[in-house]
Amino acid sequence: MKVCTGDPQYDIAKWKRHYKRELRSESLSDNSLVLYDRVLDQFEAHISGSSLDSVKSIDSIFIRGFLEWLEDQHRERSGNQDFFYNENTKRLYVIILKGLLDYIEESAELEKDGTRYSFAYEFKELNKKKRGRKAKKAGSELKYFNGDEVMNLIDLLDRNIEERGRHYDYTHSLAIRLMLYGGLRVSETLGLKIDDVHIDGEIVELRLEDTKSGTTQFVPIRYIHIEKELKYVLSLPYAKRSSYLVANRSLTIPLKRTNLYVKANKLYAEAKVFKKGLHILRHTSAMMLLEKTNDVTLVQALLRHSSINTTSIYVHRNVKQLAEKVV
């Protein structure tokens, strides 16, 4: 078989299917097979929501991005905002991916020049990064944007709307602003419908049905932060009360989480903000409110934490910042 046909989603699904069949002929335990299935299925899902143009384009950067995407999804599901995989887990996931890509190398037809395509260099680069990086304990670093990074990102979103004004310029900007200024989780953002939005003067009240606690919750956000994006969505001819807020042009299908993840990271890089992820926007929302008010109970209310202990991670970070500035 050829390494790629031009459709990376089709190709990775094909190779994954053959590789899984190969695994089942080996003497792996049931638990190992379940783990392989899960990681490989997640890898396929990540590829389907990415802008990858070919299986041959899978490199060390893409694999690291996949691991960060998994961490971001885990934080979203668990509510553990300071979650990171430990090095052993990352190493195991990389071994599983290496097994798939080694299988592709071994099974694929020769290239036109008589050689085989190799992914060996990419895993060499991954190992080099690991050797050169000090091991960090999970949860040792709270990632968020500083004031300059927020300003750069917002300036870019505004500029894209002013200069291009395309549907997805408005949509991506709205999604990012909802998480940044409202502290929303990704799933909550993508689940919002027009009927969940109530404008009351300078404040927009958002009704959240798809929450971690399973209960209906309400979140306030200043109208000025999402005004032009909201006006655009509400002006669309397809807009009705049951329409999704962050969605395709007909407002019938919400954006895919993976697509939003990939696009947000591209926008960060374009804005010279060299951090990744969607949950980082929620962290930033909390830190901005804490720095402005110094009131942890307000942060707890914004993030809708059931326990103040969960919110205390932001206080610890804020105290650390203060200590670093004291002469």
Tokens of 279: 């949950």
Q: Residue 208 and residue 197: Cα distance in Å, rounded?
A: 9
Domain shared by 256 and 161, yes or no: yes
The residue out of 66, 99, 131 marking a domain boundary is 131
Q: Is residue 136 part of a domain?
A: no
Q: How confident is the model at residue 41 (pLDDT cuts 50, 70, 90)?
A: very high
Q: Is residue 1 part of a domain?
A: no
Q: Is residue 139 part of a domain?
A: no
* pLDDT for the residue 130: 53
Highest mean pLDDT: which range of 1-15, 95-109, 134-148, 184-198: 184-198
Q: Which residue has the higher pLDDT, 83 or 249?
A: 249
Helix (H, G, I), strand (E, B) or coil at 285: helix
Question: Helices marked H in the chain — which ranges?
Answer: 8-24, 30-48, 60-78, 87-107, 120-131, 147-163, 167-182, 186-191, 223-235, 257-270, 279-293, 296-303, 308-325
Domain shared by 317 and 201, yes or no: yes
Domain shared by 122 and 228, yes or no: no
Which pLDDT tens digit goes with each residue over 103-136?
888 887 766 666 666 776 667 666 665 554 444 4
Cβ atoms 243, 232 nearer than 8 A: no
Residue located via tokens 């004031």:
147
Cβ atoms 119, 102 nearer than 8 A: yes
Tokens of 272: 């010279």
Task: Check residue 107 and give left, alpha or beta (phi > 0: left; psi -120 to 50: alpha).
Answer: alpha
The number of domains in the chain is 2
* pLDDT for the residue 82: 74
Q: How confident is the model at residue 43 (pLDDT cuts 50, 70, 90)?
A: very high
Q: Residue 270 and residue 157: Cα distance in Å, rounded?
A: 10
Q: What are phi and psi of 134, to 5 degrees?
A: -70, 135
CA atoms within 13 A on the CB side of 215: 7
Q: What are phi and psi of 55, to 5 degrees?
A: -60, -35
CATH code for the domain in which residue 274 is found: 1.10.443.10
Tokens of 132: 């050169």
Tokens of 202: 């300078």
* pLDDT for the residue 311: 81
Q: Residue 260's domain spans which residues?
A: 147-325
Q: Is residue 125 part of a domain?
A: yes
* pLDDT for the residue 294: 84
Q: Give percent of the chain with pLDDT exceeding 90.
A: 40
Domain shared by 29 and 116, yes or no: yes
Tokens of 254: 């919400």
Q: Is residue 30 part of a domain?
A: yes
Name the nearest CA neighbour of 183 among 291, 286, 311, 280. Answer: 286
The residue out of 131, 160, 189 marking a domain boundary is 131
Mean pLDDT lowest for which of 39-53, 149-163, 312-326? Answer: 312-326
Domain shared by 190 and 316, yes or no: yes
Q: Residue 10 and residue 249: Cα distance in Å, rounded?
A: 25
Q: Is residue 188 part of a domain?
A: yes
Domain shared by 310 and 261, yes or no: yes
Q: Give percent of the chain with pLDDT exceeding 70.
A: 86
The residue out of 79, 103, 131 marking a domain boundary is 131
* pLDDT for the residue 309: 77
- DSSP assignment of 113-169 equals TS-----HHHHHHHHHHHHTS----TTS------HHHHHHHHHHHHHHHHHT--HHH
Residue 55, amino acid: V
* pLDDT for the residue 110: 66
Residue 261, amino acid: Y
Q: Is residue 43 part of a domain?
A: yes
Domain shared by 39 and 101, yes or no: yes
Which pLDDT tens digit goes with each residue over 281-313?
999 999 999 888 888 888 888 888 888 877 877
Q: How many CB atoms lie within 10 A of CB 232?
A: 18
Q: How many CB atoms lie within 10 A of CB 320?
A: 11
